[in-house]
Amino acid sequence: MRNAFADEITKLGAEDPRVVLLSGDIGNKMFDKFKTAAESRFYNCGVAEANMMGVAAGMALCGLRPVIYTITPFTTTRCFEQIRVDVCYHRAPVTIVGTGAGLSYAELGPTHHSCEDLALLRALPGMTVLAPCDEVEVRLALRAAIAHDGPVYMRIGKKGEPVIHQQPPDFRIGHAITIRQGENVCLISTGNIMAVVLSAADRLSERGISARVESFHTVKPLDRERLLELFERYPLIAVVEEHGRIGGLGSSIAEWLAEQEAPRARLLSFGTDDVFMHEVGSQEYARDKFGLTADNISTKVLARLHTMRH
Amino acid sequence: MSATTTYTKPDRAAQLDLPRLSSLARTLRARIIENSHKTQTPHLGSCLSCVDILVAAYFHVLRIDPAQPRDPLRDRFILSKGHGAPALFHVLAARGFYPESMLETYGQDGSVFAEHPPTPDHLPGIEAATGSLGHGLPMGLGMALSARIQGHPYRVFALLSDGECNEGSVWEAAMLAAAQRVDKLAVIVDFNKWQATGRSEQIMALSPLVEKWRAFGWNAQETDGHDIRALVQLLERVPDGSGKPVAIIAHTVKGKGVSFMEDDNNWHYRTPNAEELAAAKKELGVA
């Protein structure tokens, strides 16, 4: 995903003289092409994210379209007040990109994990929150973010994620994309865990359950229209995200659901637990620890469908 | 694209109408004290210490046109010490950004005048909504870098308090500005030697403040922050040809202008009663 980001921001930098790229001393060589094409619009702001966020807001207030890039915790929790005051309060069109979403950097330890960013960022007034599911969505989301006249937060994975979309889909902020049609249950996902969700859908299919799969690349604003359609059509909706179950997409949908007139479909939420990981391992290991596997998701969905029938 | 003004560079201090500006500073101090009395607004000492700096900037140095507050080519002035907002509100009204009668809503429910500056979308003349310290300089640096990217000649000034220099983000911005040699950016520190609860030097070991800014790569100078002529001379010299950002350490007196408020930190939170207001106005020679 991050290579797709680097490639797309280079194109955008060449197309749009308002685009400025700010990096927090990461992405060694990744942005060489951007620098060659638009040297005066690349700033390595050092290991000083609070200042970087303020600088971006100042640029946005002068008509530029700054894009900030660094590792997710450092571009969110490290400088949260600058995002709140400098960016959101001013409605400054800054695009904040966090790489290493969720457990992408599992082996680096909890300082580099990011399982609270969706919760925090979606609480900010006027903030748009995006979590594209593959490199195709990354490119489209980045274009949509820069075209958007307000602040955008976008979390992306690292490198080597499976490509989900064979053709570029119709990407609009706030409009979910149907990845796969299905009859019996619906799996909603956001961000870099989509491949696991598709595997879970495959497992369900092997057991005779046809699962629809949706990419909610926009966590905020929530696609309420699509939710209404899904919750009317399916008896069970499972939400899967590489993020804490507190405050993420699952929570957001639960908030929406609580305000709906009964009866509606049941909601099942998969995400990380309310703990820091003290046993280090690969991203797959970390996902497994939190039950974010095709096996666990399909088993739980089957069990819930079974209970609901009896 | 909005209409833009071609700003003529004001002549050097020769043209400076010092008696007029000194009288204006006294009047503004009286209005700020009156406002504090009427609306029970705190931070009076902090407002009074920066009045002369604001007058020098807004009435002589800044290339601004109150009729075109969003002109892309205007100089930017950010009150990074946002708790000085009542002073700025009166200065902007006196400069013609909005009618002085608008200030009558201050302190009322639904007013745009909070105790800190609102966003530029909500009040003409404001460049950044501040109030949480350590935000104005990074935003100002972003504006100064924009001027470079867009080929605009404008300058950016950020007024900080000495207490604000506690914030790490100030020094993050200082280092990036020096690395990028942003010479159209200036910091003015309203160095009144106090912060909310005590002497700024004792709380966070600020000194040597001038040398600190120099060590961070800025061209730093110190001056009497109540000497309008000296302030004008330093502010007009931005950019000063050194290729460095400029720091002006302005020695000020908290509560300046009223003997019983000067250098008394109780006036960080206290507001004057009717007798104190009358005494202050009498001292300032303002009816």
**What are the pLDDT tens digits along chain A (310 aa)?**
999 999 999 999 999 999 999 999 998 899 999 999 999 999 999 999 999 999 999 999 999 999 999 999 999 999 999 999 999 999 999 999 999 999 999 999 999 999 999 999 999 999 999 999 999 999 999 999 999 999 999 999 999 999 999 999 999 999 999 999 999 999 999 999 999 999 999 999 999 999 999 999 999 999 999 999 999 999 999 999 999 999 999 999 999 999 998 768 999 999 999 999 999 899 999 999 999 999 999 999 999 999 998 7
Q: What is the mean pLDDT of residues B209-215?
A: 98
Indicate yes or no: CB of B172 within 8 angstroms of CB of A89. Answer: no
Indicate yes or no: CB of A89 within 8 angstroms of CB of B168. Answer: no
The H or E element that residue A137 is part of is helix A135-147
The beta-carbon neighbor of A56 closest among B119, B142, B172 is B142
Q: How many CB atoms lie within 10 A of CB A180?
A: 17
**Candidates 3.30.465.10, 3.40.50.970, 3.40.50.620, 3.60.10.10; CATH matching A2-156:** 3.40.50.970
Indicate yes or no: CB of A48 within 8 angstroms of CB of B143. Answer: no
The nearest CA of chain A is from the CA of B179 a distance in Å of 10
The beta-carbon neighbor of A55 closest among B127, B138, B150 is B138
**Residue A109 vs residues A13, A47, A120, A309: alpha-carbon distances, Å:** 33, 19, 20, 42
Alpha-carbon span B173 to A294, nearest angstrom = 46
pLDDT of amino acid A295: 98
Report the residue of chain B nearest A59, measured CA to CA. Answer: B142
pLDDT of amino acid A262: 75
For CATH 3.40.50.970, list the domain ranges present in chain A. 2-156
Whether B129 has its CB under 8 Å from any CB of chain A: the answer is yes
Whether B153 has its CB under 8 Å from any CB of chain A: the answer is no
Residue B7's pLDDT band (boundaries 50, 70, 90)? Answer: confident
Residue B6's pLDDT band (boundaries 50, 70, 90)? Answer: low
Task: Please report the beta strands in B68-207, taking only residues with DSSP state E, as ranges in sequence order.
Answer: 76-79, 156-161, 185-191, 194-195, 198-199
pLDDT of amino acid B1: 38
Assess whether pLDDT exceeds 60 at residue B116.
Answer: yes
The nearest CA of chain A is from the CA of B70 a distance in Å of 10
Peptide bond just before A263 cis, omega within 30 deg: yes
Contacts of B176 in chain A (CB under 8 A): 43, 45-46, 48, 51, 55
pLDDT of amino acid B5: 64
pLDDT of amino acid A177: 98
Region class of B249: left (phi > 0), else alpha (psi between -120 and 50), else beta: beta
**Residue A308 vs residues A236, A265, A266, B276: alpha-carbon distances, Å:** 9, 11, 9, 75
For CATH 3.40.50.920, list the domain ranges present in chain A. 177-309
Whether A157 has its CB under 8 Å from any CB of chain B: the answer is no
- Residue bearing tokens 């599992």: A106
Contacts of A82 in chain B (CB under 8 A): 135, 138, 169
Residue B287's pLDDT band (boundaries 50, 70, 90)? Answer: confident
Domain segments of chain B: what residues?
18-284
CATH superfamily of B18-284: Thiamin diphosphate (ThDP)-binding fold, Pyr/PP domains (3.40.50.970)
Report the residue of chain A nearest B139, measured CA to CA. Answer: A58
Query: Three-state SS string across B197-224, please?
Result: CEEHHHHHCCCCHHHHHHHCCCEEEEEE
Assess whether pLDDT exceeds 90 at residue B231.
Answer: yes
With vertex at residue A86, the alpha carbon angle to CA A85 and CA A89, rounded to the nearest 5 degrees, is 50
The beta-carbon neighbor of A51 closest among B143, B144, B172 is B172
Whether A54 has its CB under 8 Å from any CB of chain B: the answer is yes
pLDDT of amino acid A71: 97
For chain A, how big is the Rg over CA atoms in Å? 19
The nearest CA of chain B is from the CA of A63 a distance in Å of 8
Assess whether pLDDT exceeds 90 at residue B154.
Answer: yes
Assess whether pLDDT exceeds 70 at residue B42.
Answer: yes
**Residue A37 vs residues A18, A67, A251: alpha-carbon distances, Å:** 13, 16, 42
- Chain A, chain B: beta-carbon pairs less than 8 Å apart: 104
Region class of B63: left (phi > 0), else alpha (psi between -120 and 50), else beta: beta
Q: What class does CATH assign to A177-309? A: alpha beta
Residue B8's pLDDT band (boundaries 50, 70, 90)? Answer: low
Q: In this structure, what token pair is assigned to residue B40?
A: 């029970």
Indicate yes or no: CB of B139 within 8 angstroms of CB of A54. Answer: yes
pLDDT of amino acid B2: 45
Indicate yes or no: CB of B143 within 8 angstroms of CB of A43. Answer: no
